[in-house]
């Protein structure tokens, strides 16, 4: 395969992007912990018997997690500001309505600053947004995304995609409608 196809030379991820990826993944973990604590607090508040000590402990832990989340967000901004090339890529991504700095940082960090992405189709496949046909012979099933790609990118782009549809930004609602119609056939 190497003799017949021109292959690009592999290069390791830069230290800056590796640090950014570590921070964004840490932020994702912190947000998951906060959501779990929020569920525990809801359960403690709505149960027939509740322990004030447990409720107080959960609230204290949530405050500490909030501090850690703010710290991680500051670290993301600092990491982006250090590298002017990365800053330019983040500004380009945040020019898309609904994409903020954290979302852009996740996408840039998980794709190695787009160094290994040559086109949109490759990025779609890498993120796991490519479509899987479910049909055989006469039977036509529902089409779904493969979800075989990078879950961090899919998670980061979920709400921006919903907001683009909700607020009717550009031609995305028409594309969404066409894809929805095709998937319900």
42 with 67, same domain? yes
Which residues touch 106 (CB under 8 Å, ≥6 apart)? 24, 28, 152, 153, 155, 156
What SS3 state is found at 132?
A: strand
Under a CB-based contact definition with an 8 Å cutoff, are residues 142 and 134 in contact? yes
Q: Quote the number of domains for the chain.
A: 2
Task: Please tell me the distance from the alpha carbon of residue 116 to that of residue 171, in angstroms, as a whole number.
Answer: 28
- Residue 3 domain flag: no
Residue 35 has a pLDDT of 97
More confident position, 108 or 117: 108
Question: Is 101 a residue whose pLDDT tops 90?
Answer: yes
Residue 129 has a pLDDT of 86
Instruction: Enter the tokens of residue 99.
Output: 């994409």
Question: Is 180 a residue whose pLDDT tops 80?
Answer: no
Residue-range definition of the domain harbouring residue 140: 117-185
Look up the CATH number of the domain holding residue 43. Answer: 1.20.58
What SS3 state is found at 133?
A: coil
153 with 101, same domain? no
41 with 96, same domain? yes
- Residue 6 domain flag: no
141 with 157, same domain? yes
Residue 164 has a pLDDT of 83
**Among 55, 88, 115, residue at a domain's last position:** 115
Residue 184 has a pLDDT of 59
Which residues touch 14 (CB under 8 Å, ≥6 apart)? 112, 113
**Among 92, 115, 138, residue at a domain's last position:** 115
- Residue 1 domain flag: no
pTM exceeds 0.75 for this model: yes
DSSP structural state of residue 116: T
99 with 129, same domain? no
pLDDT, tens digit, for every residue of 126-170?
Answer: 998 888 877 777 777 777 788 888 999 999 998 888 888 888 877
By mean pLDDT, which of 30-39, 65-74, 108-117, 131-140 is the weakest? 131-140
109 with 19, same domain? yes
Query: Residue 6 — very low, low, confident or very high, per pLDDT cuts 50/70/90?
Result: confident
Alpha helices in the chain (DSSP H): 15-46, 52-82, 84-94, 101-110, 120-127, 151-166, 172-183
The highest-confidence range among 2-16, 148-162, 168-182, by mean pLDDT, is 148-162
- Residue 94 domain flag: yes
- Residue 132 domain flag: yes
Query: Residue 82 — very low, low, confident or very high, per pLDDT cuts 50/70/90?
Result: very high
By mean pLDDT, which of 40-54, 72-86, 104-118, 135-149 is the weakest? 135-149
**Among 67, 90, 115, residue at a domain's last position:** 115
101 with 122, same domain? no
Residue 8 has a pLDDT of 78
């Amino acid at each position: 395969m190497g003799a017949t196809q021109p292959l690009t030379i592999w290069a390791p991820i830069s230290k800056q992007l590796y640090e950014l990826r570590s921070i964004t993944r840490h932020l994702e973990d912190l947000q998951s912990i906060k959501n779990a604590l929020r569920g525990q607090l809801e359960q403690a508040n709505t149960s027939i018997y509740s322990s004030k000590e447990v409720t107080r402990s959960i609230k204290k832990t949530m405050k500490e997690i909030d501090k850690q989340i703010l710290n991680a967000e500051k670290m993301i901004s600092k990491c982006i500001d250090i590298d002017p090339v990365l800053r330019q890529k983040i500004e380009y991504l945040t020019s898309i309505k609904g994409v903020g700095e954290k979302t852009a940082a996740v996408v840039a960090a998980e794709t190695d600053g787009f160094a290994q992405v040559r086109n949109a189709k490759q990025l779609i496949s890498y993120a796991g947004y490519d479509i899987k046909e479910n049909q055989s012979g006469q039977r036509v099933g529902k089409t779904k995304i493969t979800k075989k790609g990078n879950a961090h990118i899919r998670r980061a782009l979920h709400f921006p995609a919903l907001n683009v549809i909700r607020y009717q930004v550009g031609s995305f609602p028409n594309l969404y409608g066409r894809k929805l119609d095709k998937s319900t056939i």
